[in-house]
Amino acid sequence: MSTDTLVDFDELLTRYEPVIGLETHVELGTASKMFCGCSTTFGAEPNTQTCPVCLGLPGSLPAANEAAIEATIRIGLALGCRIATWSRFARKNYFYPDIPKGFQTSQYDEPLCTAGHLDVEVDGEIYRVEIERVHLEEDTGKNLHVGGSTGRIHGADHSLVDYNRAGIPLVEIVTRPVPGAGAKAPEVARAYVTELREILLALGVSEVRMEQGNLRCDVNTSLAPTGSLEWGTRTETKNVNSLRSVERSVRFEMRRQAAVLDAGERVVQETRHFHEDTGSTSPGRSKEEATDYRYFPEPDLVPIAPDEEWVEKLRVALPELPAARRVRLQQEWGISPTEMAWLVNAGAVELVSDTVAAGASPGDARKWWLGDLARRANDAGTDLGELAISPAQVAELIGLVSAGTINDQLARQALDGVLAGEGDPAAVVEARGLAVMGESDELVAAVDAAIEGNPDVAEKVRGGKVQAIGALVGAVMKTTRGKADAATVKRMLEERLVSS
């Protein structure tokens, strides 16, 4: 779809240096909304989780959700931020049907948390991402544009608005610009979001399901000629909603901007939309005609003044954070830092940990998540965690292999079944008849048939060339479509062909 000229990634790195920056929105998993008592459950019938407050009806007033304030402070603490002793909400004024009040209640110049950082590792190197601020605001409703081909407002016949999401507490985490990542910029961006996601999961403040929009990223990218003292003009890519897309959007913008600069043109400061299907971006609203949001302190809410004692209590009660946890797990699992890094890059640490917790050995768990499952995620173009299989199911599958019920080959077929939604591994094995054959009549017949069908090979084995038995094992496996246990088959063949 895109008609942009793109420069080869490796080539552009010979002339340009990227700077990235991320704004991440996280929907908190509080039971009720930010300023009213409405439920936050995902997927309810449109406009059933609303009240006068989150619909912005005339006369209604907000009352701040303390659980959301607490969660924001915990996020700030986990990111090493300074927690404000005095913080206020502000009104961000603009017109759009999905904001019921005509303004979004957000934070402006007095955010709850400032000046933190998050270290991420890419290929053994640590990159420090400075956090500028963490603030609390409310989510908007969702517009549904009906008719037209793009799902956007232009060309639509009419639009519907669902306010169930309006008022769900939203934390915005803004990084400072990250220079110096060079060729690794796309991966650093991805690693940052991955690590942030892990932290949010560890804190238990959000389900962080990117496919449900719990975590949404705006990715800023700019390029400057290598060695330049000034940074280039940035673009802000909106709606980047998977880890893989974060990486792809940076890569695409770097390649596109390089072409613009190569042509001697200026990069336009604008917001851009990311397209999952093509991995490309397209222009949205130009920042040069930027809205003046007319921020001012929200007079309907009192300032938040977290007292030191409370903040200290929250700090002490923070759970083990992912970085520390990885060091511990690496030791427990007996793996190298590089092996741990693979797990991190694949977004598999928690998955492996949960699989181990469900009874699998660390080695098996790693083997499956980084092997077959990673391959399938890659083929499907999704993140590992979004595969339709749970760590418990993977552990069950591994258990079936260890018990000899199935072998690796059959386990892969069982995996197909689980991913196709046919049920738990044991049920799939049962339903698909995948269990390894015992010394059944069927197997005896297959062994005998292999000997009869390959008389010359059988003769070689009888004559002492025991290694030739492999061909016969292969023949049996073929007739049993892999369901036989190779060791059993070998033993049976030996019983028949090799006199002891």
Q: Point out which residues bind other proteins (CB under 8 A).
A: 52, 55-64, 91, 93, 95, 97, 100-103, 153, 159, 161, 292, 294-296, 299-302
Three-state secondary structure call for residue 333: helix
Q: Where are the alpha helices (DSSP H) in 317-390?
A: 322-333, 337-345, 349-357, 362-368, 374-380
Q: What is the DSSP letter of 108?
A: -
User: For residues 89 and 252, which CB has a smaller minimum distance to other proteins in the complex?
Assistant: 89
Six-digit token string for 438 = 């015992």
Give the integer Cα–Cα distance in Å for 40 and 71: 15
Question: Least separation, in Å, of the C-beta of 357 and other proteins?
Answer: 42
Question: Least separation, in Å, of the C-beta of 293 and other proteins?
Answer: 8
Give the integer Cα–Cα distance in Å for 189 and 21: 8
Question: Least separation, in Å, of the C-beta of 299 and other proteins?
Answer: 4
User: For residues 141 and 391, which CB has a smaller minimum distance to other proteins in the complex?
Assistant: 141
Contact 166/50 with Cβ under 8 angstroms?
yes
DSSP characters over 36-89: S--B--TTPSTTSS--TTTTT-TT------HHHHHHHHHHHHHTTPEEPSSB--
User: For residues 298 and 383, which CB has a smaller minimum distance to other proteins in the complex?
Assistant: 298
Among candidate residues 326, 341, 346, 385, the one with its CA nearest the CA of residue 122: 341
Among candidate residues 294, 296, 297, 275, the one with its CA nearest the CA of residue 284: 275
Give the integer Cα–Cα distance in Å for 249 and 247: 6
Question: Least separation, in Å, of the C-beta of 309 and other proteins?
Answer: 21
Give the integer Cα–Cα distance in Å for 162 and 48: 9
User: For residues 169 and 385, which CB has a smaller minimum distance to other proteins in the complex?
Assistant: 169
Question: Least separation, in Å, of the C-beta of 89 and other proteins?
Answer: 10
Give, in order, the Cα–Cα distances in Å from 207 to each of 154, 212, 215, 244, 299.
33, 9, 9, 18, 32
Give the integer Cα–Cα distance in Å for 190 and 47: 34
User: For residues 62 and 169, which CB has a smaller minimum distance to other proteins in the complex?
Assistant: 62
User: For residues 295 and 342, which CB has a smaller minimum distance to other proteins in the complex?
Assistant: 295
Among candidate residues 91, 88, 87, the one with its CA nearest the CA of residue 103: 91
User: For residues 82 and 294, which CB has a smaller minimum distance to other proteins in the complex?
Assistant: 294
User: For residues 93 and 454, which CB has a smaller minimum distance to other proteins in the complex?
Assistant: 93
Question: Least separation, in Å, of the C-beta of 302 and other proteins?
Answer: 5
Q: Is 88 left (phi over 0), alpha (psi -120 to 50) or beta?
A: beta
User: For residues 102 and 453, which CB has a smaller minimum distance to other proteins in the complex?
Assistant: 102
Six-digit token string for 479 = 């007739």
Sequence-distant (6+) residues with CB within 8 A of 150 are none
Question: Least separation, in Å, of the C-beta of 77 and other proteins?
Answer: 25
Question: Least separation, in Å, of the C-beta of 394 and other proteins?
Answer: 47
What stretch of H or E contains 250?
helix 243-262
Question: Least separation, in Å, of the C-beta of 210 and other proteins?
Answer: 29
CB neighbours of residue 345 within 10 Å = 18
Question: Least separation, in Å, of the C-beta of 152 and other proteins?
Answer: 12
Question: Least separation, in Å, of the C-beta of 159 and other proteins?
Answer: 7
Contact 126/119 with Cβ under 8 angstroms?
yes
User: For residues 64 and 250, which CB has a smaller minimum distance to other proteins in the complex?
Assistant: 64
- Tokens 């005339």 appear where? 58
Q: What is the DSSP letter of 369?
A: I
User: For residues 63 and 388, which CB has a smaller minimum distance to other proteins in the complex?
Assistant: 63
Q: Looking at the chain, how many residues does it have?
A: 500
User: For residues 153 and 388, which CB has a smaller minimum distance to other proteins in the complex?
Assistant: 153
Contact 465/497 with Cβ under 8 angstroms?
no
Question: Least separation, in Å, of the C-beta of 53 and other proteins?
Answer: 8
